[in-house]
Structure 1
Amino acid sequence: MATSVSTEMAAAERPRRGQWSAGRIARVATMLFVATIIIFPIVGFIAMAFRDNANVQAGTDGFLGLGGVSWDNVVYSWSQVNGFGPGEGGLFTRWMMNSLFVGIGGAVLAVLAAIPAGYAMARLRFRFRRAVLFVTLVTMVIPNTVLVIPIFLEVNAVDAVGELWPVLVIMGFFPFGAYLSYIHFMTTMPIELVEAARIDGLGELAIFFQVATPISKQAIALVAFFSFVANWTNFFLPLALLSSNQQNKTISIGLQELIGASPLFNPTVAAGLDVKLYMPQLALATSISMIPLLVLFICAQRYLMRGQTVGAVKG
């Protein structure tokens, strides 16, 4: 009886649906304030790509520059960005294609290498298994700058400096992906399932392809997503291996090239160029370079949300 009375009192004190308590209003107001702070510079940056440089310098485009936006400005800015380079230009488009080649190819190699490696470390018993796991963890925390010199010497030894394929192969070995796969198989694939498959007469390869692979879709999506993002935004490795070949640069170092050729930052270099890259052109180039990441995130969002609960079990 006392329990039912206390339950009724708690229900009476609980705010009805549709009513806004002071605490709820404060939380929503705080979230809207934080969202505004985050969105404000993003909207201003994207609007910059639709503006004219003369109006930008004069400061006559109003709040966030939205008063001076025009599609004609985008067309002109794109002609300047894509006109960068010798001859007819087109370097920016080439850099984007190079980044797609490295990003997609590296992500495919990362999945092909990380998923079997994670399964082996999680569910196979072999000598030095713990040592392999330890080396994987150590490789994850080593700064990329430490590995650049030995990697450069190895690539130079095969006379491949300036080529794209060594960058793709190197990026394909993704230690974080291997560790993520290891955690996935440790938490979602009980050892009893593996033992049952062995009792049924399946070999290790058959267990991996018929049992482990079908339950690793979320892990594959996560490894591919994080690998592509890491490959697309990687700056130091392409800078060390591709700087000698202008045609094979990726967009990460290409944007730095555009900034260095802008009269805003390097008037001496920009004086000899046919194209002029100011803030609207640089904002457009940066915005375009973010589109593949945005598209990938939208397409993989369902798998990413599911992947957050990989390994969770009902309690």
Structure 2
Amino acid sequence: MTTTRNFVVVGTERWSPGRVGRVLTMSVIALMFALPIIGFVAMAFRSQAGIEAGTDGFLGLGGVSFGNAIDSLDELMKFGPGGGGIFAQWMKNSIIVGVASAALAVAAALPAGYALARLRFRARKPWLIATLLAMVMPNTVLVIPIFLEVNAVGAIGQLWPVAILMGFFPFGVYLSYIHFMTTMPAEIVEAARIDGLGEISIFLRVALPISKQATALVAFFSFVASWTNFFLPLALLTSNQDNKLISVGIQELIGASPLFNATVAAGLDVKLYMPHLALATFISMIPLLLMFLGAQRYLVRGQTIGAVKG
């Protein structure tokens, strides 16, 4: 009997009026954010005729079909000079730049973070402060100086300068620094030095094996920053239509749509409307979702980087 009473009390406390109110409030807020997302995804699977007729029901869910998405994809792939295909090229360019910049960011951030966390050298604190300043500096401030530097080497319109520049990721250095400070005790480093290991050997044999979470975090955030960056690709890749990234390409698709710029769209053979633009945006998000799903296990663990055990 006592056990039953305790269970009832616990159950009553778990679903008290205050808790029910909080759950309902958060559910309403979540629904407010979810409805626009559902409507946006549904738009990619609707037809322009159904939108104009207004017969697709609530959020357009009544007019959703894969056939509409295939038709929109066919029109989207026709966009561009020389018979189209420019959208697929933009996606390919973004994947190349994103993967290359993430690899460069990881290769640079982990050694730099380890050095700042566990090596003893002069100007260590100034370097850390410089890293923090570079991390909080807006990217738009650096666009013009970077453009002048890239133009000086004659690389405007090429992908490799963008990949290298996006590989410069101070936030990744800071994450690695926090990781090695919190998960790699100084006693381990001292013991390795007493055993005769050099700093490079300590990094390769001791630090790297325990840095999977930091690697996943740096790679993920670097890839996202590269994929969503707009101003740098806009400044460096505008001279070459085939080398544009999807972040700039989406803006170009919107600017060439009759919904937003009837003058420009009048001279184009392919007319892109709301379903085509929604599908292009939805496709552009797929690599980010795949990147997140692939690194999710390490990202969840990596959220505790910097936490202090009680």
Which category describes the TM-score, using the shorter chain as reference length? over 0.9
Paired position in structure 2 for 1:241: 236
Normalization by structure 1: what TM-score?
Answer: 0.94
Paired position in structure 2 for 1:63: 58
User: Aligned in 2, Cα 1:122/1:15: closer, same or farther, shift over 3 Å?
Assistant: same
Paired position in structure 2 for 1:274: 269
Counterpart amino acid of residue 189 in structure 1: M
Distance 2:97 2:204 in 1: 27
User: Aligned in 2, Cα 1:19/1:212: closer, same or farther, shift over 3 Å?
Assistant: closer
Distance 2:168 2:309 in 1: 34
Normalization by structure 2: what TM-score?
Answer: 0.95
| 3-state SS in 2 of match to 1:126 | coil
Deviation at 1:313, TM superposition (A): 5.3
Q: Matches of residues 119-134 of structure 1 in structure 2 within 5 Å?
A: 119-134=114-129
**Which of 206, 209, 216 is equivalent to 1:214?**
209
Counterpart amino acid of residue 201 in structure 1: G
Q: Please state if 1:297 is matched with 2:297.
A: no
Distance 1:66 1:211 in 2: 54
**Which of 163, 171, 180 is equivalent to 2:166?**
171
**Which of 9, 14, 17 is equivalent to 1:22?**
17
Distance 1:183 1:271 in 2: 54
Q: Provide the identity percentage.
A: 69
Runs (5+) with no aligned partner, structure 1 = 1-7
Distance 2:14 2:125 in 1: 56
Counterpart amino acid of residue 120 in structure 2: R
Deviation at 1:76, TM superposition (A): 1.2
Paired position in structure 1 for 2:250: 255
| 3-state SS in 2 of match to 1:16 | helix
User: Aligned in 2, Cα 1:206/1:19: closer, same or farther, shift over 3 Å?
Assistant: closer
Deviation at 1:311, TM superposition (A): 4.2
Distance 2:232 2:303 in 1: 30
In the alignment of these two chains, the number of paired residues is: 308
Distance 2:32 2:246 in 1: 28
Counterpart amino acid of residue 217 in structure 1: K
Deviation at 1:75, TM superposition (A): 1.2
| 3-state SS in 2 of match to 1:232 | helix
Counterpart amino acid of residue 162 in structure 2: V
Distance 1:143 1:28 in 2: 38
Counterpart amino acid of residue 27 in structure 2: L
User: Aligned in 2, Cα 1:19/1:132: closer, same or farther, shift over 3 Å?
Assistant: closer
Deviation at 1:57, TM superposition (A): 2.2
Counterpart amino acid of residue 231 in structure 1: S
Distance 2:143 2:40 in 1: 33
**Which of 221, 226, 229 is equivalent to 1:231?**
226
Distance 1:107 1:310 in 2: 20
User: Aligned in 2, Cα 1:51/1:13: closer, same or farther, shift over 3 Å?
Assistant: closer
Distance 2:78 2:210 in 1: 48
Counterpart amino acid of residue 188 in structure 1: T
Distance 1:48 1:220 in 2: 36
Distance 1:12 1:93 in 2: 59
Root-mean-square deviation (CA, aligned residues, Å) is 1.9
Runs (5+) with no aligned partner, structure 2 = none
Distance 1:101 1:112 in 2: 17
Partner deviation per Cα, 1:108-164 (whole Å, 9 max, x = no partner):
000000000000011001121111111111111111111111111110111000000
